[in-house]
Every structure is written in C-alpha cells, then in structure tokens.
Amino acid sequence: MSQAPADADDRRAIAPVICYPPETLPRPDMALYSAALCEAEPVSVAVAAPREACHFRVKAGQFFRIVSVEGPQVGDLNLWRDGDLSERFYSGKTRALHGTHVSTGERLWSSFPHLRTMATIVEDTLSWYGIDAYGGAVHDVIGTRCDPYTGNLLSGTQYHHCCHSNLIRALSDATGMTRQEAEPHVHDVLNVFMCTGFTRDTGQYFMKASPVRPGDHLTLFAEIDLLGALSACPGGDCSSEHSSDSAQCYPLRVEILQPKAGALAGWQSPARNGYDGSHGR
C-alpha cells in the first residue's frame, strides 16, 4: 500500500457531487403512460425457456412486460432499434445517468451517436425492495452477462447456455444472421429481477437470491421501435452460481401490450441525439 500524505483525511472528507444530475433530462410523462397502460391490450407473447432466450419486437408506443412465472428467475435483456442494430442499449450510460439499479420512471438509453431513450420503466413490482443491508438492489445495469469465455478463463469449462450464447442464438433466430454475425451485436444487459451490489470492504460485484416471485413483473414503454432478446439466466435466481446446469431455472414471459387509439396524445418518439457529430473538425 502507498504512503498516505499528511492531509489524507482532509482529502477523503471532501463531499462527492453527482456526476450527471438528471434534472435536465427529458422527463417522461408518467401519468400519460400509466393511463395508456391501464387500458392496453396484450397483442403477443414470447417465452424464454429455462437456460434459453427468446426474441420479441415492440413498436414505438407499445409496452412490453417481463413476467416471472413458475419460480424465481433472473433475466438478461438486450435491446436494439428494430431495423438498425447499430443502435443498442447502453448499460454504462444508463448507469451513469440513473445509478447502478433502475426502477419506475427511469429510462434505458441507446448507444452513441444516437443516445436517446429506448424505453421507459413504467411498472416495477419489486420497487419495494430498495437497497438492502448488504447494499444489494434489484434490476442492475452493473453486470455484463454470464458468458462462456469468463467461465473458460476461471474454470476451463465449455458451457453453451450462458446468457451471452442464449442471446446470440435469439438474435440469430430473429434476424437470420449466423451466430458469428450475431455475436458482436450482443451487449451488456439490463439484469431484470437480479439482486446485486458491491461488497463494502472489497468493492467486489456480488449477487444474492432474487426476491422475485411468480407474478412479479417489470413493464417498459417502447420509445422507439425495438427488437428485444431476453435470456432466462442459467443462474436461476442467482443465489449460488451461474454458467452451469446446477441452479433451478424457470421460464420468463414477455407480453407485448398495445394501448388504445388516442391514448398517447401528445407523446412523440424521441429524435436522435442533437450533437452535430463533427467532433471539432
């Protein structure tokens, strides 16, 4: 450990400032969304089988609801703009803007140079959980996704049902791309229903049993046309391990809901980011 300077305590005592105060972000009209959701009708359903992923398409102005069925299960979500895979969910920027975990009223943002809202969370039945005594909370944008490469590095395994591989197969099924073509488009996820945090003493990423129970759900409003893929993580409720077939796993259901005509009066799909893209030259 390095030598502490004489003013070490003074330096540590400086109060933090929030990197990105969210007050000037475009605000979602939650009352409008809630009213539209109340009367929205289901139009299609996709189901991610245990240790598999499903894909689904959501038009701008529709909702999609991720539902726990049968037992506690964590889901790894990828989102792209339907028709342009270069615009995809940007978990790092979402984390910088909203924090390590997301809930009702917060938004999922897209990659550069688009950087606009892809979806807004309108319902979260686990919002009661808050931050527990370990610093754990639900629906994180910290983790990447379980993948066969890290498993191979850590324990020499060849496991084919990590979320990374499940999402590749789902994107391949959705687009007709080969698995090799699809892989570079799979990205860091929203960990739906997953309970995670960082240990206070060592700062390590931890997971613990998800508090999700059948019937719990997370509902999002699609701000732009979306192609989604959801993996039912091989970790199940992520209480012990992932990247193996040892955990008890359950399916996850995705419902697409269509609001009534006129229910979104005044809402507009967000435009691409307003930066001019010249980068100073």
The reply on whether position 233 binds Zn ion by CB under 5 A is yes
220 neighbors 158 (Cβ within 8 angstroms): no
Minimal distance in Å, beta carbon 73 to Zn ion?
Answer: 10
Q: Quick one: 60 or 79, whose CB is closer to Zn ion? A: 79
Q: How many residues bind Zn ion (CB under 5 A)?
A: 4
Measure the CA angle with vertex 25, ends 110 and 90; round to 5°.
20
248 neighbors 241 (Cβ within 8 angstroms): no
The reply on whether position 46 binds Zn ion by CB under 5 A is no
Q: Could you check whether the bond before residue 26 is cis, i.e. omega within 30 degrees of 0? A: no
Stretch that binds Zn ion, among 48-56, 167-175, 229-237, 267-275 (CB under 5 A): 229-237
The reply on whether position 186 binds Zn ion by CB under 5 A is no
119 vs 126: CA distance, rounded Å: 18
Q: Quick one: 73 or 120, whose CB is closer to Zn ion? A: 73
Task: Please give the C-alpha separations between residue 196 and each of 140, 210, 215, 220, in angstroms, as whole numbers.
Answer: 7, 9, 21, 21
Minimal distance in Å, beta carbon 127 to Zn ion?
Answer: 23
Minimal distance in Å, beta carbon 205 to Zn ion?
Answer: 13
The reply on whether position 189 binds Zn ion by CB under 5 A is no
The β-bridge partners of 258 are 41
Q: Quick one: 40 or 170, whose CB is closer to Zn ion? A: 170
The reply on whether position 163 binds Zn ion by CB under 5 A is yes
Q: What is the CA radius of gyration of the chain?
A: 20
The reply on whether position 194 binds Zn ion by CB under 5 A is no
Pick out residues in 48-87 that bind Zn ion (CB under 5 A). 76
Residue 183 exposure: Cα atoms within 13 Å on the Cβ side: 8
Classify burial at 19, counting beta carbons within 10 Å of its beta carbon; exposed 0-12, middle 13-18, buried 19 or more: exposed
Q: Quick one: 226 or 230, whose CB is closer to Zn ion? A: 230
Among 53, 97, 146, 230, binds Zn ion (CB under 5 A): 146
Minimal distance in Å, beta carbon 143 to Zn ion?
Answer: 8
- Residue ranges in contact with Zn ion by CB under 5 A: 76, 146, 163, 233
